[in-house]
Amino acid sequence: MRRIVLIRPYRDGRVLGKAPGSPYTLMRLASLVPEEIPVEIWDENLRKLPLDTLSEGDLVGITSMSVTIARAEEIARIAMKQGAGVVVGGVHSTLMPDHTKTFAHSVMVGEGYFTWQQLIQDYAAEGIKGMKPVYRDERWADLSGLANISDRVIQMVDEKSHYWTPYLEITRGCPRNCDFCTAIRVSGRRMRLRPIDEVIDEIDRRGIKRFFLTDDNFGLNFTTDPDYVAELFERLAPLDLHGWTCQSEMSVANHPELMKMSVAAHLDKHFIGFESVNPNNRSSLGGKSKGQALMAEEAIRKIRATGIGVVGLFVMGFDEDTPETFQAMWDFIRTSELDSISTTMLTPYPGTPFRDTVEREGRLLDLPWSYYDTAHVTFVPKNFTVQELRDAYDWLCRKTYSPWQIVRRGTRSLGRYPIRQTGKKLFGSFSTDYGYRRTYAYRNAL
Ligand code: B12
Ligand code: SF4
């Protein structure tokens, strides 16, 4: 084997010279490559890929989400034509292996922690001939000692020079069961926790000062595993961090003691999946106490009172939604104390019960995967025409992400911190809304 090349296909590009987020998935996978085999990470958000250098003896691993699968396919076909062995893994290939199989020697279904190592051995022994069409790894393995990021990978990626936001995994999985959610189909419904020593060691060796957790529902651990969370916060508190953010749910507001500890642990913001201000949508939301604007307001107030920010995540286009839901959403955004807002379009991702429903009812629109970016309407809604839903969503996004609204929320957010912390908190106070404005803007680029 000449080398292993791990590729992230283009999606976000660069902002002021750096890509928005580090290639965390590939950093973990590259760390599983034995030291004697050369490994490279190619991030197409960062630079044009030297695909013409791929040849026989190279093993190419490509990561995929539905939105990037078309580019993954182009890269895979070029690499295969030049004689490289090609494996595609990630969310899309896990949920649609039959589609992915058509343009790769191997498809990685599931987490791949163990099968990736198996595939490397198979390729090293017999080249492309040794690669099995499908490798399955859906055992939801214990995270202890699993693919810790190696020093070789830390040096190679040089996150500080190339990326605005480093990612970090502390827990994985979510026991809830929202019918539109892909995360639980690829990370499992059992909450798994990384050993705290390994988390602290990783932060230390990577030298990161800010990070975004990849955890599907970190905040749920406040309720299900308070001792773990308390110990984690105690260990993070003495570190010299600028701040970090996580995905949560509003039940964190019921844990004042942990919230207090989280401030000392440099937690900056909870991204909270309120999902909907329409109470009729509760059945789609897997048992979370959601869909109730009053409860949301109370939770936001309590969390912000501790000095932690709240980013509200909302999904539009549920079957129960009507034009009034959009007005109610805007009223809520305008009057709430949220620090940043994400309003996304409900999307029938592969592997979800929601997709099964729209398929069964003949409501799935025939659109390329690039439209699965949560900013496009990809199915026929119940109470709108497709165009009406698009227009309603456009109306909401133009209001929510107007420069004035971004500045208003960002300045309010920054105002929560003591003046001496302004430098540290400036980036994070505006970057989230700016990022969502960009995500929405992709829609108009297609
Ligand atoms: C963190 C995260 C993000 C981050 C960073 C994403 C990134 N790494 O580029 C941010 C916030 C930027 C983001 C953005 C988006 N995301 Co996102 N994200 C996640 C989240 C919560 C965790 C992913 C993660 O990093 N996990 C930790 C790493 C270590 O593991 P992993 O990526 O799961 O990969 C493992 C396996 O899949 C496998 N594997 C993956 N690739 C490969 C490749 C090879 C060769 C092999 C062998 C194995 C392998 O090995 C890894 C280790 O086990 C997932 C939810 C989830 N549980 O998957 C959603 C998720 C992946 N995101 C999703 C979506 C829709 C998006 C956006 C389109 C949203 C938007 N509105 O723009 C964008 C697209 C961004 C892009 N660059 O393409 C969907 C994808 C659905 C789908 N069918 O594609 C998910 C599943 C969430 C959901 N809605 O349910 N996301
Ligand atoms: S709470 Fe979040 S991660 Fe959990 S199932 Fe629902 S959408 Fe998915």
CATH of the domain at 81: 3.40.50.280
Q: What is the mean pLDDT of residues 195-216?
A: 97
Q: Band of the pLDDT at 37, cuts 50, 70, 90?
A: very high
Q: Are residues 125 and 196 in the same domain?
A: no
Q: Are residues 99 and 214 in the same domain?
A: no
Q: 156 in a domain, yes or no?
A: no
Distance from C-alpha of 350 to C-alpha of 316, rounded to nearest angstrom: 18
Q: 218 in a domain, yes or no?
A: yes
Q: What percent of the chain has pLDDT over 90?
A: 81
Q: Are residues 280 and 421 in the same domain?
A: yes
Q: Are residues 239 and 330 in the same domain?
A: yes
Q: How many helices (H) and strands (E) does the chain have?
A: 18, 16
Q: Are residues 122 and 205 in the same domain?
A: no
180-203 confidence digits (pLDDT tens): 889 988 999 999 999 999 999 999
Q: 154 in a domain, yes or no?
A: no
Q: Are residues 213 and 361 in the same domain?
A: yes
Report, in this order, helix, strand and coil percent for the chain, each rounded to 5.
Answer: 45, 20, 35
In terms of residue numbers, what domain contains 54? 3-137
pLDDT beyond 90 at 142: yes
pTM of the model: 0.94
Ramachandran bin of 158, using left for φ above 0, alpha for ψ from -120 to 50, beta for the remaining angles = left
Q: What residues are in contact with ligand 2 under a 6 Å CB criterion? A: 174, 176-178, 181, 183-184, 216-217, 273, 286, 288
Please identify which residue in the block is written with the tokens 């002021």: 16
Q: 160 in a domain, yes or no?
A: no
Residue nearest to atom 90 of ligand 1 (CA): 182
Q: Are residues 297 and 432 in the same domain?
A: yes
The residue out of 137, 153, 185 marking a domain boundary is 137
Q: Does residue 304 contact residue 268 with C-beta atoms inside 8 Å?
A: no
Please name the residues in contact with 438: beta carbons below 8 A apart, sequence gap of 6 or more.
Answer: 12, 15
* Distance from residue 91's CA to the centre of ligand 1 (Å): 7
* Distance from residue 25's CA to the centre of ligand 1 (Å): 8
Q: Are residues 105 and 233 in the same domain?
A: no
Q: 318 in a domain, yes or no?
A: yes
Q: Which ligand is nearest to the CA of 141?
A: 1
352-378 confidence digits (pLDDT tens): 999 999 999 999 999 999 999 999 999
The residue out of 122, 137, 152 marking a domain boundary is 137
63-97 confidence digits (pLDDT tens): 999 999 999 999 999 999 999 999 999 999 999 99
Q: 34 in a domain, yes or no?
A: yes
pLDDT beyond 80 at 446: no
3-class DSSP assignment, residue 170: coil
Q: Which of 197, 139, 145, 205 is nearest to 173 (CA)?
A: 139
Q: Are residues 133 and 202 in the same domain?
A: no
Q: What is the CATH number of the domain that holds 252?
A: 3.80.30.20
Please provide the average confidence, as pLDDT, over all residues in the chain. Answer: 93
pLDDT beyond 50 at 289: no
The residue out of 137, 153, 183 marking a domain boundary is 137
Residue nearest to atom 2 of ligand 1 (CA): 214
Q: What residues are in contact with ligand 1 under a 6 Å CB criterion? A: 11-12, 21, 24-25, 28-29, 61-63, 65-68, 87, 89-92, 95, 108, 111-113, 116, 167, 169, 181-183, 186-187, 214, 216, 344, 349-350, 373-374, 439
Q: How many domains is the chain partitioned into structurally?
A: 2
Q: 152 in a domain, yes or no?
A: no
Q: 146 in a domain, yes or no?
A: no
Q: What is the mean pLDDT of residues 424-444?
A: 82
Q: Are residues 125 and 236 in the same domain?
A: no
Q: Are residues 263 and 381 in the same domain?
A: yes
Q: Are residues 256 and 359 in the same domain?
A: yes
